[in-house]
Chains A and B, each alone.
Chain A
Amino acid sequence: MSNARILVVDDDPQIRRVMRMTLVSHGYMVSDARSGEDALEAVRGEKYDLVLLDINMPGIGGLETCRLIRASSEMPIIVLTVRNTERDKVEALDAGADDYVTKPFGTPELLARIRAALRRAPQLAEGSPEVLSLGEIEINFSARRIRNGVQEIPLTPKEVDLLHYLAANRNSPVPHAKLLQTVWGPDYGNEVEYLRVFINRLRSKIEPDPSKPRYLLTVPRVGYQLLAPPKS
């Protein structure tokens, strides 16, 4: 996944800058935070595929940040630190880190560890196809477009995420809370109206008659379900 979103958390602006340059040059989308508090706020507001976390930081510190992120998210966390005693490593891994890299480290090693962590990570829409056909409609997730005959309809990133997740779990109902937490983030769960708005919008794009949906069904008191050809 070369377009993965990575959050770099380090109090040293020099390191943040170097990491950003390195990761961006390898195709990753990078955001940074200068403290644990900022990182927690960033994670609440945005979805990331991986966090690179420094341990020695002022404020709540790296270990506590790691614990708090892990409490609400399953995204991979790689800890970067100058400490290399066995006890430090155990503490970081017990706090929820997936990997531990000791400074100084080489760029190829860090990139390899990022790739490995992303490989192991639960994907947003594991098992979801790149292209999904629903009757005459073809949904291309990577191009963020729906093709209906000759007509091409664009999808917003949120719509793609939502549809992608439903496609990954096609033919089985997905609860509201699960959808909200996966697509919007761990702080969401009760905002069923958001889902209603986005599902209506998606229906107007993929359903021949949005008032009588054939593919994107409401499962009363549970959530939504995408009816599609089963996974091959």
Chain B
Amino acid sequence: MNAIRFEVARPLGAGGLRFATEDRACAEEASALAVEVIYTTDAGTRGALATAGALAQGLSAHVRLIFTYAVPYTLPLTEPSVSLPFLQDKLASLTNGISGEASADIYLCREPLPVLEEVLPPSSLVVLGGRKRWWRTKEQQLEKQLKKLGHCVIFAESR
């Protein structure tokens, strides 16, 4: 996989953001099942995280937000045009609203779909947020692609 992974972990009840692989390990150990949320737009992701949070609570699972950032070919993969602390802050603020365990992964890549193919375990439970239109939106296309890969995808429609 030609991508770089950064982690943001937010343990239950903590408001802050920190790099904490050991917290992530604890969260994943405590609840083996993960509800995966793939970042689409801010509003869509907020809706998706709310749906994922409710699902995770009922399933004793944890929520994992996956953010894939496509770095243009003109830049090295390690030097995206957006600063990483900014992205981390953004993801931390998005996951702060969830009740329960939540973590976030940032993947710097050239093409998001191959990364998703690789990082999502088989038959994952994925929640996508976005708006539904009569034409197929980017989020709806992603939903179709993920379903094709065998994942169980829930589309959380945002208004």
Contacts and interface: CB of A to CB of B under 8 A. Distances in A.
A197 B60 contact: no
B128 to A, nearest CB: 11
B55 interface: yes
A60 to B, nearest CB: 25
A79 to B, nearest CB: 31
B58 A158 contact: yes
B59 interface: yes
Interface residues of B, number: 9
A85 interface: no
B154 interface: yes
- Dominant secondary structure at the A interface: helix
B159 to A, nearest CB: 15
9 contacts: A156-B59, A158-B58, A159-B58, A193-B152, A194-B55, A197-B59, A198-B59, A200-B152, A201-B33
B125 interface: yes
Interface of A: 154, 156-159, 193-194, 196-198, 200-201
A158 B55 CA distance: 10
Contacts of B59: 156, 158-159, 197-198, 201
B60 A196 contact: no
Interface centre among A193, A194, A198, A201 (most CB of B within 10 A): A193
Nearest to B58: A158
Contacts of B57: 158
Given A198-B58, A201-B59, 14 more contacts: A154-B60, A157-B58, A158-B58, A159-B58, A159-B59, A193-B152, A196-B152, A197-B55, A197-B125, A197-B152, A197-B154, A198-B59, A200-B152, A201-B33
Contacts of A194: 55, 154
Contacts of B33: 201
A159 B57 CA distance: 11
Contacts of A197: 55, 59, 125, 152, 154
A158 B57 CA distance: 9
A152 B123 CA distance: 24
Contact of A156 (B58, B125, B152, B154): B58
Instruction: Report, nearest first, the 9 A-B pairs whose CB atoms are least far apart.
Output: A158-B58, A193-B154, A156-B60, A197-B125, A156-B58, A201-B59, A156-B59, A197-B152, A197-B55
B9 to A, nearest CB: 23
Residue among B58, B59, B152 with most chain A CB within 10 A: B58
Contacts of B152: 193, 196-197, 200
Contacts of B55: 194, 197
A197 B124 CA distance: 10
Contacts of B125: 197
A134 B55 CA distance: 26
Nearest to A162: B58
A49 to B, nearest CB: 19
A118 B151 CA distance: 42
A197 B57 CA distance: 13
Nearest to A45: B54
A194 B33 CA distance: 15
A67 B29 CA distance: 46
Interface string B49-64: 0000001011110000
